[in-house]
Chain A
């Protein structure tokens, strides 16, 4: 066991530190960087403080690693849990103690069941187990948390699939604007973002590490998916983006400082969110103006409303495609 722990510690030291501070360039260390840590297609990047990003197993997975164990924000897509856990084991041998879902989407929550089982089951009594106890004890296993709306969405069957049940469902939910956790010596805020990408989005804000994991309201390489069927709205997305901008503090001159882990895509900071917020706001303003003028969706589509953004943010198809995004904005603003 000691040798495993040593190997894990060694591997942890080899993880690429992709984020540097903003000290004068003349004082930056010259040491060659360690090679990227990619385990079976899952890349592990240290963000800052105790927080890591695991990318490549569906939606981004955020890991806070400390003396008490691991807190995960999300568990990845279907069939990805083993790859994610293998990658995690390259940087720590500590047990997973918390699993937070930032929304109820399948690419964020499909590994819940496997991760809970790998962590000796649920920590604490589940609602249906009150009085019945937990066979492995109150303080063993994984505590799982989501917003109540996300929990409800998880129980519903997605297209071509079945709703989650049993160990895959969060053991704890909340419906208040905020829920706090203290783990690994760090205050962690779970902040609810109403009616944004969906009706169950939360931010996971690691106050000491100065990192916020924000889920699908911010995807720096693509248009946001506004899931109208699950309660999403464009104004909720914009509200949530403005909240990220309020949370984040750049180190100086819009550089560094609070880091942002998006639902998909690269590590970011406030300046990236500002560009994204501006893009969504400008598109919203244009569509709103056109709706006021009585234009139909077809007419709005023909007006090149998103021309300057399509090349970068437009997915080839689906809800993050130029057409999909524009229609979601239109419908969200009351367009018929």
Chain B
């Protein structure tokens, strides 16, 4: 499985890689093209829809008891999206800036401004090490970048607890994200790979696309206001569904076998199609027998 995965990653990177003469500089104003997976990225994935995610049983349990009401906690109302998600979420419409040494003009960092909640990113390009295990974790994490051929490869650690999808599918602070920024002139492709030993059975890969634009206005919501949305909650109120909750609304709505909506490595590969067809046939015969 690992060799197949490695070949898959290599093929993916090669497939989206620009010729060697292409630019590596990713600075500029970039508009997200949300044409791929739009329902997941703008409205957000439905409860119980874990399709395409290589999650393990622990992640499935955490997601299935996740209650969206938790975002009404005063201390969560203003939280931004975490690093492992926000480059995929709605947007971002982003401004990427080269930060150079004022004397040598050497590239020190890229800054990315405009992500939801404005946990804007710094990609350090000066070779500095990642902080120690005792250092604080942040929403944006700590990112370092290196140019590899015609792509910028970024490694992010020190992120907080978060999600990889907006319906409660978790990412842990032990997750490491590797991103390949590949520029094709006016287009920017981002290959994002999340490796989370706590919640993923294998690395989770997504591609996202951006187009150069001249009129990007980064998200202006620098400060989210925390307000009393729901009265009467007791101190320390933590909404969550009971253990064992079966989030099967998505499967029923779309006529899918529940098992096929629950993610996991097996469900990601073409061989699963045979199993899925068999389950659909079985479901159909069960229903016709009723």
Contact = CB atoms under 8 A, between A and B. Distances in A.
Interface string A109-121: 0000000000000
Contacts of A245: 75, 236
Nearest to B244: A303
Contacts of B138: 255
Q: Which of B57, B97, B198, B243 has the most CB of A within 10 A?
A: B243
A252 B119 CA distance: 10
Nearest to A60: B134
A142 interface: no
B102 to A, nearest CB: 8
B131 A16 contact: yes
Given A253-B223, A277-B236, A286 B198 contact: no
A123 interface: no
Q: How large is the interface on A (under 10, 10 to 19, 20 to 34, 35 or more residues)?
A: 35 or more
B75 A18 contact: no
Contact of B139 (A43, A241, A254, A309): A254
Nearest to B97: A26
A253 B58 contact: no
A266 B133 contact: yes
Interface of A: 16, 18-19, 24-26, 28, 30, 32-33, 36, 43, 45, 53, 55, 220, 238-239, 241-242, 245, 250, 252-255, 259, 265-272, 274-275, 277-278, 281-282, 285-286, 289, 303-305, 307-312
A312 B113 contact: no
A54 to B, nearest CB: 10
Contact of A253 (B59, B65, B80, B160): B80
A270 B170 contact: no
Given A28-B122, A277-B238, A307-B58, A266 B97 contact: no
Contacts of B134: 18, 43, 45, 53, 55, 265-267
Nearest to B197: A311
B285 to A, nearest CB: 32
B121 interface: yes
B243 A18 contact: no
A102 B128 CA distance: 35
A253 B119 contact: yes
Given A25-B113, A43-B132, A53-B134, A308 B61 contact: yes
Contact of B61 (A24, A239, A304): A304
Contacts of A220: 173
21 contacts: A19-B136, A25-B111, A25-B122, A30-B126, A32-B126, A45-B134, A250-B78, A254-B80, A255-B138, A268-B136, A270-B75, A271-B139, A271-B160, A281-B236, A285-B240, A289-B242, A305-B243, A307-B57, A308-B58, A310-B58, A311-B197
Given A269-B136, A307-B57, A308-B58, 20 more contacts: A18-B135, A18-B136, A25-B121, A26-B99, A30-B126, A32-B126, A43-B134, A45-B134, A239-B236, A245-B75, A245-B236, A253-B118, A253-B119, A254-B79, A265-B134, A274-B76, A285-B240, A286-B242, A311-B172, A311-B199
